[in-house]
Amino acid sequence: MAQGNRRERRSNPAPPALPPAPSLQQLDPAAALAAYEHVRRGTHAKALRILQKEIDKLGGLDSSPPFLIHAYSTAHKGAADVSADTKIRARHFRAAVEASRRATEAAPGSAVLAHSYAMVLLGACRDMDEDDALATYETIIAECERGIHIQEPSEPTLYHLLPADSDPPCL
């Protein structure tokens, strides 16, 4: 058998190693606290810039902690609430609803996040047509009932990232 005719068996190379999963240690507590403060003050655009940077650093919403996703949703809802432009308001509400939904999925035992999700959905209803609003109201009721029936709530918190002598953020 000639060497040119023989097919060499090549083993498939191992797939490239995935980068390590982002961890909460990559989160900058000072940035997270600054974002919470901007949300509290109503400077939503600044809060969104800070939060987006932190979320991107952690690999997106799916790998971010629920309290950070909640802050992101709250900042979008705040921006929607103060916007007079219906297109901008709708864009912010879509982002707020999606972030709230993801936060409740990441922390299903949180009554606070269930309430927040329901409130974001309620805010989004004001620009919907009647049929969409009715369907959304059903989702709001279901989320409120789910939150009420949580037996042992466990709330995601930013507090464990804080130094012992600092005040917790208010949101």
The answer to whether domain 27-150 has CATH 1.25.40.10 is: yes
pLDDT along the chain (171 residues), means of 10: 50 44 64 87 94 91 88 94 93 96 92 94 90 92 94 70 49 49
pLDDT value for 161: 46
Rounded CA separation 103/157 (Å): 12
Count how many residues are written for the chain.
Answer: 171
pLDDT value for 25: 62
Rounded CA separation 106/17 (Å): 26
pLDDT value for 33: 85
pTM: 0.76
Rounded CA separation 94/48 (Å): 14
pLDDT value for 23: 53
pLDDT value for 158: 54
pLDDT value for 138: 94
